[in-house]
Amino acid sequence: MEQVRVIRIPELKVVTSGPITNMEEFEAFDNWWSSINTKDYITPRDFMWFNEQKQCMEWVFAIPDGCTDFDKYQLVVFPGGLYAVATSKDTEEDSVKTREEINNWVLKSDCFEVSTKENDTSLRYPMCHVITPKVFKKNMGYHLSDQFIPIVVK
């Protein structure tokens, strides 16, 4: 897969949604973080992953400096690190296929390996970030999302 890129995300303070088990929880977190002024802040600034320990989806938002109102959500430290990244349609089928292709690319790499409990100091999960604006989905019928696989140097 030639379109895989390797990026480093810095350690960040993030606010976590906690377990997302229904659309109401999803929309509540989306409405909360969407109301925060992020005009001069990093992008991407939010990520979703499946928390294997809690067996649930979680959404995190990188908090801008000076933001102190976290509503009912918890502030935590995101460890950052290296990620192998590729873009897919934001559908379950395409996301799974792209994550498999990224994993295969990493396995064939002479430089990197997928992050595990044994080779990484932080517990990190595969994650995604929608990269297209709402108008894209309105006109195309789908979003695009970046798929992130945590990796370490061999």
Q: How many CA atoms lie within 13 A of 9 on its CB side?
A: 26
Buried/exposed 24-44: b ≥16 CB within 10 Å, e otherwise: ebeeebbebbeeeebeeeeee
Q: What is the pLDDT of residues 35-74, one digit of tens each?
A: 887 776 667 888 999 988 889 999 999 988 888 888 899 9
CATH number for the domain harbouring residue 136: 3.20.80.10
Quote the domain boundaries for residue 125: 5-153
Q: Which of 118, 121, 122, 133 is nearest to 44 (CA)?
A: 133
Given a cut of 50, the residues of the chain with pLDDT beneath it are 1
Q: How many domains does the chain have?
A: 1
